[in-house]
Amino acid sequence: MGINRVTLLGNLGKDPDLRTSSEKTPVCVLRIATDERYKDTEGEQTVHTEWHDVVTFGRSAETCAAVLRKGREVYVEGRLRTKKWQDKEGHDRYGTEIHASSVEFVGAKTGAGESAPVQEVEDAA
């Protein structure tokens, strides 16, 4: 038995991408950036940005697409999934994404300096 759990706190790099699966299930892809700050070998402050593809399904996909926008801070819990596909030349390609079980909307601005309440969306699966 193993544990497959991911926790992220980052910002959306672009607006959510809402689609519908072949089974007519809403699917939303969130592109989230996380930053790691450290000093390099010369003592200079350096920032490394890591990009993550986060996928939500069903009602949570619809809610994320309706509420979230580029730049919004989100807290995500989920699990890693690796997908495989073939490119145009027939070569196998692989990618890793995070299937979200929970998404919390944090750090939002609704208007002139107002903070929006934190919302949590749980995946039904």
CA angle, corner 18, sides to 12 and 19, nearest 5? 145
Tens digits of per-residue pLDDT, 55-112?
Answer: 999 999 999 999 999 999 999 999 999 999 899 999 999 999 999 999 999 875 544 3
Residue 66, SS3 per DSSP: helix
- Our count of domains for the chain comes to 1
Predicted model pTM: 0.80
- 12 within domain boundaries: yes
- 106 within domain boundaries: yes
Tens digits of per-residue pLDDT, 3-22?
Answer: 999 999 999 999 999 999 99
- 1 within domain boundaries: no
CATH, residue 33: 2.40.50.140
- 28 within domain boundaries: yes
- 97 within domain boundaries: yes
Which is nearest to 79 in space by CA: 18, 7, 17, 28? Answer: 7
* Structural domain boundaries, residue 57: 6-122
Kindly tell me the burial class for residue 67, based on how many C-beta atoms sit within 10 Å of its own C-beta (0-12, 13-18, 19 or more): middle
Q: State how far the Cα of 104 lies from the Cα of 18, in Å rounded to an integer.
A: 18
- 91 within domain boundaries: yes
Q: State how far the Cα of 116 lies from the Cα of 119, in Å rounded to an integer.
A: 9
- 90 within domain boundaries: yes
- 66 within domain boundaries: yes
Long-range contacts of 91-95 (CB under 8 A, 24+ apart): 95/53
